[in-house]
A and B are shown apart, each in its own frame.
Chain A
């Protein structure tokens, strides 16, 4: 038989739907309805992984999301998923499951030698020991990374797409166990729009693994009926396979839904995963409780399992996780498991109960069934290496009670409410001494119900769920007068739990006793932390890594609170619990990112001429989000050769540039001139319509923010050009002043960047080209001089032509509507052929402007540069105020040793200085070497036949001609250069005025 631990009957698995998957390559037989964990147990696989630090053998501890051990890797290649829990992953045909932390194999793990060294590598070991010698840290790190396993990252980008859903509802019910189902039903019956989510594949939670009855039906049957009722209700969205993993301000709840989990193609992949962003008016938290483990030596051995998990495997999955059991408890819950085991034919050899006189219905039934009960007794050690073989019992006074053989050791230290979501939102919680755990305090919009409140019995869960659902609906404004009745279950008489944290006396010194199984944090580690003064629970967490695993310490933290309290002799309420943070369980990054990846996260912007550039062989560069033609190499040409050819074409003939990316803002209204006067450093009101002017915009700190040409279109209308990358920031900046400060100004701003394409013709023959392309605009110098603009037609298309120049040549920038821009571009290009027209890209544009000493905001400037620093002090109006003006007279703004824009000419005209290179007076090996400045732009100038550079040099303007040196990275050399005036070509500016 391939499933030796499968029970012959019972459970919710579909025995007529067998399936097969692999674990470390070995075939595992399962049925539909199994999880990977239940199938492994049915096949007799109890070892699922090795622990994080000591590589100790580990098995399933739970049957749910709280498991610290059952992390596995699913699938392979780009779709592989690390850190999935076998306990919540549905078994699917063809699924590939692998262990995550053992080498070379799970059964024979060389690194388990760490376990032998455990006494020598306590918490903090790495930080204390591996710091020396420092230069060996990379070696240590390499080794540690290999040894500490959390699975493998995918080996290629995720090929899948993930959706996100934005949803609103009146009531969100988190958890669809007894309380959640009752709450969802009550809210729906009150007329509320409801979303109900549960992390498991089926709704029902604990109802699916109990033998109790609800409204006269077996609990699983009642759960099925309630689920189908909810699924068919029009205003209910029922989401199984969906984990609520984060609760944020404004009650935003994030849900991770796993889709198509049963389809082989999706086996092990989250290609169907989607994240829901839900904004509910009210929340019912029916998240249940996690059973608490107990401390004893070797409490991490495979076969040590939470008692409730044993019941779940028996009743829900028809799997016996062992063949002979011992139970260890401090409350009634384990007795239910004892009865379940007995019903399944698994002998219970002993129950060790911390309490001296366990009374109540369940212990009584166990006694009747002849199960040996040791009252006032504890388990102090598990024997066995790869798996539990026996449990050693002791009386509370330390007197030995013998050793009982078993391969299954069920533990129950009580239940801790799963208040993670509640606590993430910073909502208050209180210590409930009855359950020795923290429980959430209800708030006006969060209603806890069921086991999360600390009330563990079924009847209470159904009652609380019903009233929480109705209350939430009413608080959300939904009330139709209907008072839903709570489903009924038998009231059980339970007796109180007795808190139990540390083994008695010296037995608390036995080693090792694990508090956090995932992080391998032992009782000794906690002692060490407290001894060294790290006593706050947050400090303990950071010192020992308690609760820092992907399981988020769901089992460890509630245990640690009690243990630390006892070690310190303090009240657990004052010890507290580490801050809970999202995500509750691991969520794949792809699902969180959703569609916000690639071009949808960072759009690619192109101009109408993009395809032309491509077919002309252009290379492109990214300028912000824009893809801009960088240069147009001929076949066989290097970038350097192509740029030189383009530069010389502009200087001697004519070039054509796609400059559509420039920001364009229309500034209209009666006060437009006044507005420009306030935001620009120079004067605008008296600029005549038809004329253009270069303007500088400063921040209030006096530093250059943007520059560009603005034209006055008519009396109340200006067109402002901004730099490409600043188009949006400038608009936002201007809007903020208009809307928040100068609300009296009648000015309107409209971004027209996308509306107008901009084609620049530059070079001595550009006038001839424009004329040849056909225009009704008079082009003679006297009719259309430099720094003016004219409206008319170009190539039959309405156009605005601006005689402005970023190259220092005769130049026209022609604005045409974007949808006609390609036509105009092609017409100009055709008309220019006889004149040798050459398309040029951004690299040539940069070289040409550098030859002229024109700055580029963000290249020469960096947010710490004033107009005077770059030699533009003449643009500062003395007659009016403008933004930033007052800052220009601050002492720091007028220091004579501020960095100033200068040109640099290398002694060797063939050497091009590195941009960003440090400028010094005297090279040398002194450290620190006093720095005079840095190179901001550097190119080979084809027209000058030598290299040129712009630099910001302290006090540079007063010392033009001085000897300076520039550091180079490549050959560790200093390049000698002399500073000069930053305009290298045509310093009189004659060429642009022709």
Chain B
């Protein structure tokens, strides 16, 4: 069980949340200008990082806000949470 610190609601059990995968993958500003490889990279490729990981979570059963969690993927330790727009 992960205790996830929702920036709006405080620490809650993980079954209230939805995982949204790796954070910081902005949608390309002009998709039409990309090659197929570049588009595929945006669409499909993820880092699957070992250790420190910035990822998206949504407090689905609470405030329904998306935010960013920093988690160690080895120990599952949660290192912090931030809201979109705040500097990391």
A-side interface residues toward B, CB under 8 Å? 248-250, 252, 279, 700-701, 732, 735-736, 739-741, 743, 881, 885-887, 890-891
* Chain A residue at smallest Cβ distance from B29: A881
* Chain A residue at smallest Cβ distance from B83: A739
* Interface range, B side: 20 to 34
Q: List 13 additional A-B contacts (Cβ < 8 Å) besides A250-B3, A739-B65.
A: A249-B1, A700-B43, A701-B43, A732-B18, A736-B66, A739-B66, A739-B84, A741-B27, A743-B84, A885-B31, A886-B34, A887-B43, A890-B39
8 nearest CB pairs, A to B? A886-B31, A252-B1, A250-B3, A739-B66, A248-B1, A740-B66, A249-B76, A886-B39
**A881 contacts B32, C-beta separation under 8 Å:** yes
B66 to chain A, nearest CB (A): 4
* Chain A residue at smallest Cβ distance from B27: A741
A735 to B58: give the CA distance in the assembly, Å.
10
Contacting residue for A736 out of B3, B58, B76, B85, CB 8 A: B58
Max chain A Cβ within 10 angstroms of own Cβ: one of B31, B36, B40, B60: B31
A426 to chain B, nearest CB (A): 8
B78 to chain A, nearest CB (A): 8
A887 to B56: give the CA distance in the assembly, Å.
23
Contacting residue for B20 out of A700, A736, A885, CB 8 A: A736
What A residues does B18 contact at CB under 8 A? Answer: 732
What A residues does B26 contact at CB under 8 A? Answer: 741
**B60 contacts A732, C-beta separation under 8 Å:** yes
A860 to B26: give the CA distance in the assembly, Å.
32
0 or 1 for each of B43-87: is its CB under 8 Å from A? (1 = yes): 100000000000010101000111000000000100000001100
What B residues does A887 contact at CB under 8 A? Answer: 39, 43
* Chain B residue at smallest Cβ distance from A751: B64
**A743 contacts B27, C-beta separation under 8 Å:** no
B2 in the interface (beta carbon within 8 A) = yes
A741 to B27: give the CA distance in the assembly, Å.
7
**B65 contacts A881, C-beta separation under 8 Å:** no
B28 to chain A, nearest CB (A): 8
What A residues does B36 contact at CB under 8 A? Answer: 890-891
**A735 contacts B3, C-beta separation under 8 Å:** no
* Chain A residue at smallest Cβ distance from B60: A732
A743 to B84: give the CA distance in the assembly, Å.
8
What B residues does A252 contact at CB under 8 A? Answer: 1, 3, 13
A312 to chain B, nearest CB (A): 35
Max chain B Cβ within 10 angstroms of own Cβ: one of A736, A741, A886: A886
Q: Could you list 18 A-B pairs, sorted by A, with CB under 8 Å? A: A248-B1, A249-B2, A250-B1, A279-B3, A701-B43, A735-B64, A736-B56, A736-B58, A739-B65, A740-B20, A741-B26, A741-B27, A881-B31, A886-B31, A886-B34, A886-B39, A890-B36, A890-B40
What A residues does B66 contact at CB under 8 A? Answer: 735-736, 739-740
What B residues does A248 contact at CB under 8 A? Answer: 1
A701 to B44: give the CA distance in the assembly, Å.
9
B70 to chain A, nearest CB (A): 16
A740 to B84: give the CA distance in the assembly, Å.
6
A759 to B40: give the CA distance in the assembly, Å.
43
A881 to B30: give the CA distance in the assembly, Å.
8
A265 to chain B, nearest CB (A): 34
What A residues does B31 contact at CB under 8 A? Answer: 881, 885-886
What B residues does A890 contact at CB under 8 A? Answer: 36, 39-40
A245 to B40: give the CA distance in the assembly, Å.
46
What B residues does A732 contact at CB under 8 A? Answer: 18, 58, 60
Contacting residue for A740 out of B3, B13, B43, B56, CB 8 A: B56
A886 to B18: give the CA distance in the assembly, Å.
27
What A residues does B34 contact at CB under 8 A? Answer: 886
* Chain A residue at smallest Cβ distance from B38: A886
**B residues 3-32 touching A (CB-CB < 8 Å):** 3, 13, 18, 20, 26-27, 30-32
What B residues does A249 contact at CB under 8 A? Answer: 1-2, 76
What B residues does A886 contact at CB under 8 A? Answer: 31-32, 34, 39
A570 to chain B, nearest CB (A): 28
A735 to B64: give the CA distance in the assembly, Å.
8
A736 to B67: give the CA distance in the assembly, Å.
10
A55 to B85: give the CA distance in the assembly, Å.
67
* Chain A residue at smallest Cβ distance from B56: A740
What B residues does A735 contact at CB under 8 A? Answer: 58, 64, 66
A700 to B28: give the CA distance in the assembly, Å.
12
A434 to B70: give the CA distance in the assembly, Å.
42
What B residues does A741 contact at CB under 8 A? Answer: 26-27
A282 to chain B, nearest CB (A): 15
